[in-house]
Amino acid sequence: MSDPKQKLTPTEIREAGLQDWRQLLSGIRARFKTGDFATGLALVDRIGAAAEEANHHPDIFLTYPEVIVTLASHDVGGITSRDLDLARQISGFAAEAGVKADIEGLTQLEPGLDTADGKRLAPFYAALLGGEVQDGEPVDASGQVPTLWFQEPGGGGPELPESAVPQRWHFDVWVPFEAAESRIQAALDAGGTMVSDAAAPSFWVLEDADGNRSCICTMAERD
């Protein structure tokens, strides 16, 4: 059995065989299509009881048709065997309830601001969004708004041509690796353009019809 305090690599997480779960940024996430509120609430109740017993608590988002669960070991700043163990247990609860997971629909948004001085700006955005600064980034512990990150000039992506739209904000949209191709194609079919796939499969750079850029990101090749 692995050390419950040892952070796992993306490869170790991927090879753990969690069919319902995928790593997005620093957590593993599952999206269960419950179909109605009562089924979702019953699933949440079982998850809550198991989490209390394990003394390891996930973030849970319950709506009428689905339950989204995110697991991470905040005490070590990553994913550990404790998360994998609880994830398997939660998947068992879902299977017993006849609830299927939606891998393709998993998404996590990370807004990025291009700036050479993120440390100076972080307190403003933390105050603006009702959060606090953690490790130099504005973080909302309640999960109501996504964490912002600051990208220094030259920190990634191709150079902008002279005709490009001036832009400082961009979206990093995190998806499971196997969902990246369909998500990219959907964006292209909706009028987007592929700017660069040089960093694939870690990320692809797309832009909308006005030249505003965003990235589709996965955890592939990030060990």
- Architecture in CATH of 10-101: 2-Layer Sandwich (3.30)
151 near 95, Cβ under 8 Å?
no
Listed range (105-109, 149-153, 160-164) with the worst mean pLDDT: 160-164
Mean pLDDT confidence for 138-148 = 90
Mean pLDDT, the chain, whole residue set: 92
Residue ranges per domain, the chain?
10-101, 108-116+152-217
Task: Tell whether omega for the bond before 201 is within 30 degrees of 0, i.e. cis.
Answer: yes
Q: For strand 193-196 and strand 169-174, is the pairing parallel, antiparallel, or unpaired? A: unpaired
Backbone Cα Rg of the chain: 19
pLDDT one-digit tens code per residue, 174-190: 999 999 999 999 999 99
pLDDT at 143 over 90: no
pLDDT one-digit tens code per residue, 53-72: 999 999 999 999 999 999 99
The pLDDT of residue 168: 87
The pLDDT of residue 162: 55
**Cα–Cα distance between 191 and 209 in angstroms, integer?**
6
For the entire predicted model, the pTM comes to 0.91
The pLDDT of residue 159: 59
